[in-house]
Every structure is written in structure tokens, then in C-alpha cells.
Structure 1
Amino acid sequence: MDTEAQHTERDPSSPADPQPDPATDDGSRSVRVSGTSAGTPETPEDDEDDEGGAGRGPSWRRTGLVGAACVVFLLLLSHFVAQPFLIPSGSMEPTLQVGDRILVNKLAYRFGSEPRRGDVVVFDGTGSFVQEERAGDPVTGLVRDAAAALGLAAPDETDFVKRVVGVGGDRVVCCDAKGRLSVNGVRVREPYLTPGDRPSDVPFDIVVPPGTLWVMGDHRSQSSDSRDHLGSPGGGMVPVDKVVGRADWIVWPVARWTTVTETDAYDSVPAPPAGGHTVGPRGSGHG
């Protein structure tokens, strides 16, 4: 060991090393042995290289943690602020088309505000449009719900997107002799309807109970909405506390990247009378 270390450090072009002094030989040996084979001390970079190049780039663990943190952030954002929602049917055409991905503003009604006539809303139809909770494997359901929350999968079967036509206390009637819908006695012109569609092929005369909404699709001939649940428990009304949020933006495809246009169709509709409405002879609602 001692002989090999001395031989490695000797420069062939330099004079021979003097003979070691027995009195100091142990100290010299310790210096020579602690060095590298080239006589250069080891550096921290050498240690990192010996450990497999840990400092050369982010490890797969770091990448996985960053990815997981991004997913958690998006899920929290989706749960509390804005949720992507995939449009699965043509019931809201031409406003929303099949395959559109919208962002639902969950803060729109969070601080005391309530849906207004003309708003396009996403709501949970359990108890109004759908009577039974969806059953299935909980793990599969969790994964599916997470994918839907990120806009990567179709929404849950209990989620719907429709336009608010009547709010609590309103009397909504359809249709008059000219096929027009009226709210609180005022005829409403609906420019958002699919061209060629009538306001409704199903006559109705209802009063919306407080805390609920009467909702309809823009493609009336292809929409299953409040009209289809007149005889169901709740009479087709959607509780306000079941509203997930307001559809404010179309974010995909890029060619349709825009806001969901607000309508002035209900600007002239008055508030319902303080004493409430009476329901006409065709009424199936409450009042």
C-alpha cells in the first residue's frame, strides 16, 4: 500500500524522492494515501458523479411530485373556482355545440347572488331531472369524477346545462296564439333559439316556487328540460342550491374560444307581484 502510493505520485522527470526519514515516515504516508491517484483532492462534483449523476437533472421522483402537485391544484381550482365541462349533446345549440368545453364560473353565485333569467347554468339534476343517484364502483366513480372535473371526460349523468327562463315567483306561460313565451305577463323574444324552433311544442302555465328555477334548452325540439318533468316530483323545478355555476366561457375548440354571450331578452320582464300569481287552466306548477 505504502509503496504503491509513493510510486503513483512520483514525477518521472523530477529527481528521485529522497529516502524517507524513519522519524517522519508515518506522517508522509498519511498524506500520500489520502489523495487521489492523480494527486488531486476529491471534489463534491466527484462525489455526485459517484452517486449516479444525481445533480445532472431532475429525477423521475421530482417530476412525479411536480405533476401530482399540478393535478391537485387543478382539482382544487375546479372544485372551488372554475370547472371545465364537456357539452355532450345538442340541447343548447346554437349557443353551445356538441364537443364544446366550457368553463363554469363557480364564484358567480357564491356570495349571495342567485341565477337570473337568461343565465346559462350547470346544475345537478338529482331529485329534479334524475330521481336516482348513480350507483357503481366507488373507485371507478372517483376516477371518472376527477376526469370530468378536469374536462377530460363527459360530465356525470346527473349534470345538466340549460338556460334559466323563470326564477322564484315568476309565472311562465307558453304559448300564446302566435307561439310566443311570456314571463310575468310580458312576451319574451328569444334570439338564442335554434332557427326554425318554436319556443315549445308542449303548452304549460306554471308558477316557479321560491328557491327554484324553470330551465329550458336553446334547441327546444331536442332538449329534455323542465317541460319533460312537469308530472314528476318537483314539477320540473331545479333547486337553486343544486346549481353548480354559470357557464361563462367556451375554451375549446380554439375556433370557438369566446365568452357565453349574455342576453337582454328578459330586460323588460317585471318582478313577480308581491301577492303571487294565480295559475291558469293549463297550470301544472305551484302558486
Structure 2
Amino acid sequence: MDRASRRADRDAGADRAGDRAGRRVAHGGTPDAIRLPRVPQRPVDRTAVLHRSDIPLGERSAAREAQREERNGQHGFSRLLRELAIVVVVALVLSLGIKTFVAQSFWIPSGSMENALVPGDRVVVSKFTPGPISLKRGDVVVFHDPGHWLDIPHKKRSGINGALVSGLQFVGLYPSGDNDLIKRVIGLPGDHVKCCNTRGQIVVNGVGLSEPYIYPGGGTDQKKFSVTVPSGRVWVMGDNRGDSADSRFHDDGSGRTGSVPESDIIGRAVMIVWPVDRMSWLSNYSSTFDKVPQP
């Protein structure tokens, strides 16, 4: 049946429906009761329309454009997902590279470095020290536990939260520090360090240190010692001398068991970045050590 025949059948059907509606009105019905028959709508097969020569060119063009927009929409969403995945991967790789070779963030778990650092501070640690930049006396350094200095290591987080935190720490997007330590370098390899002179000062290579960073009232003479720092190691102490289990309390008198291998040093803490009201650079107080001679 061609298109003209189908149109004629529809028109005849509409006329019959109109006659029936007219009869209902004549017998007391109301115009509101008139309902024309609904012609079911078939889904448009755009592919078929595109290949039928009996369809007007305008309809074929409209179908072709609709098909193109649908295809572009699907490709656009796929392209968005692909670009988003690339951005995330690049960000993770950059973060991992920065954490491995440039800098890493750490949080401060204890009060052993007060007042320079307080629990909860976030610091940025430069990976260039030691390395391209040499360690100096007075540097604040983060290092791995050199030999069970932490009596009770922090428990590892478990479950999904633990896995997420560990993953973020690995790529450098979450501060580390659960099982690392942070102290100030007092003696370099070969230095002779002792406590204390008659003024209660730490002495390095015969020079008594005036240490303005020490926690007020903490003192520094809780434990007597006199050591020569072995090669490849450093002597570290906390600024809060009365609350810091540092090199003093782990040494057997040889200078080796209490000192920290340079290979265990992660880097130098250079800046407090959180909380915002404590944001500042961390000084190594070079004026405190500038009169100390080389060993």
C-alpha cells in the first residue's frame, strides 16, 4: 500500500470518528466528549530514512543531522572520561615524583620539638638535604626510626580507610609521619659533642652553644654524655629537652648507638604549612653554630 492510500484511509477514519462524535452531541453529549482517534507513533529508524529515495531530501538531511549529533554526544562523553583519566594519572605521577625526589609533607605527632613545632603541625620536608645540599648543624630533619627509638610504633590503619590513607601517603597526597621522627641536628660526623659546661650548655668542638630554640624551662642537662659522632652519622636532639627521647637516651657511650645514619634521613623540614596561623619557615639558627670550628 502506497503513501497516498494510507493517507486516504486515515482521513476516512477521521471522518467516521467525526460522524460518531456528532451523533453523540446530537443525543445530548457535549463537545468535551469528542475524542479523535490517536495514531500510534512509531520510532523513527533514521538509518532506513537515510537510504530511502522516496523520502524528501529535507527529512533525510534532518535524520542525518540527528544521527550525527547522537554519535557526537556518545563520543564526547567517552572523550571526557578519557581526558579525565589522563589528568588523574598525570597528577598522581607528578605527585609521586615530587614526593620521591623533591619534597614530602609530614605531620608532627609529639611535643618533642616544641615550641618550634607542636603536635598536629604539617611540615614540608626537602629531599635535597642531605644530597645536593649538605646537612648543617641546626637543621631540623625527619628520619626513619634508626633502632627502636619508638617504644610503641603507631598502629597501621586497617580496612578501606587504611588502604586509602596508605595509597595517598605512597603518592604523596597525604602527610606521613606515623613511624618517623623529627629532631634538630646538633653534631655532624667527626664532631665532639658533650653535656655540659659550667653554664649548662651543650658543647660542640669546645664551643658552648647558646640555643634560643630550647623549650622555656626545659633545660638540657638531664643526661651527661661525651661522644665523637661517627662518620656518616649525626647527633640529634629535640628542642623540648625535657620531653625528647633523642640521641642522648639511646647511646651506649660510643656515639654510634645514639647517632642517626645519614642514610636514614628523609630530608630537612623547611616550612610549617598547616595550620595556616602557624605557617612559617623553619630556621636552622646558623648564628648559634657559626662559631663552632670544624673537627
* TM-score normalised by length of structure 2: 0.71
Gaps of 5+ in 2: 8-50
Of 131, 141, 145, the match for 1:125: 145
User: Which residue pairs with 1:271 in the alignment?
Assistant: 294
Deviations 1:42-73 (A, max 9, x none): 23x74342575543697455434422431232
User: Which residue pairs with 2:250 in the alignment?
Assistant: 229
User: Which residue pairs with 1:12 in the alignment?
Assistant: none
Provide the rounded CA distance (Å) in 1 between the counterparts of 2:85 and 2:112. Answer: 40
User: Which residue pairs with 1:196 in the alignment?
Assistant: 217
Q: CA RMSD in A?
A: 3.6
Provide the rounded CA distance (Å) in 2 between the counterparts of 1:60 and 1:142. Answer: 25
User: Which residue pairs with 1:282 in the alignment?
Assistant: none
Gaps of 5+ in 1: 9-28, 273-287
- Map 1:245-264 to 2 at 5 A: 245-263=267-285, 264=287
The amino acid that maps onto 1:126 is P
Provide the rounded CA distance (Å) in 1 between the counterparts of 2:77 and 2:56. Answer: 27
The amino acid that maps onto 1:175 is C
Q: Identity rate of aligned residues, in percent?
A: 36
Alignment check: 8 A CA contact 1:86 1:151 kept: no
* TM-score normalised by length of structure 1: 0.73
| DSSP-derived class of the 1:205 partner | strand
CA 229–103 in structure 1, closer or farther in 2 if over 3 Å, else same: same
User: Which residue pairs with 2:174 in the alignment?
Assistant: 152
Alignment check: 8 A CA contact 2:188 2:235 kept: yes
Larger Rg: 2
Q: CA deviation at 1:182?
A: 0.8
Alignment check: 8 A CA contact 1:121 1:245 kept: yes
Provide the rounded CA distance (Å) in 1 between the counterparts of 2:243 and 2:193. Answer: 20
Deviations 1:73-118 (A, max 9, x none): 212211111001111111111111111111110023222x431110
Alignment check: 8 A CA contact 1:128 1:237 kept: no
The amino acid that maps onto 1:103 is V
- Which protein has the bigger helix share? 2
Deviations 1:176-207 (A, max 9, x none): 22211110110000001111111231111111
CA 133–76 in structure 1, closer or farther in 2 if over 3 Å, else same: farther
User: Which residue pairs with 1:218 in the alignment?
Assistant: 239
Alignment check: 8 A CA contact 2:137 2:284 kept: no
CA 252–200 in structure 1, closer or farther in 2 if over 3 Å, else same: same
Of 97, 101, 114, the match for 2:134: 114
Alignment check: 8 A CA contact 1:217 1:223 kept: yes
Alignment check: 8 A CA contact 2:105 2:176 kept: no
Alignment check: 8 A CA contact 2:168 2:174 kept: yes
| DSSP-derived class of the 1:215 partner | strand
Of 249, 253, 260, the match for 1:238: 260
- Map 1:41-56 to 2 at 5 A: 42-43=64-65, 46-49=67-70, 53-55=74-76
Of 64, 81, 87, the match for 2:102: 81
Provide the rounded CA distance (Å) in 2 between the counterparts of 1:40 and 1:180. Answer: 90
Residues 1:172 and 2:207 are matched in the alignment = no
What is the number of equivalent residue pairs in this alignment? 248
CA 249–57 in structure 1, closer or farther in 2 if over 3 Å, else same: farther
Alignment check: 8 A CA contact 1:93 1:194 kept: yes
Alignment check: 8 A CA contact 1:250 1:260 kept: yes
Provide the rounded CA distance (Å) in 1 between the counterparts of 2:173 and 2:215. Answer: 26
Deviations 1:213-238 (A, max 9, x none): 00001111111111110139932111
Deviations 1:122-147 (A, max 9, x none): 11123473699999899998755443
Residues 1:100 and 2:129 are matched in the alignment = no
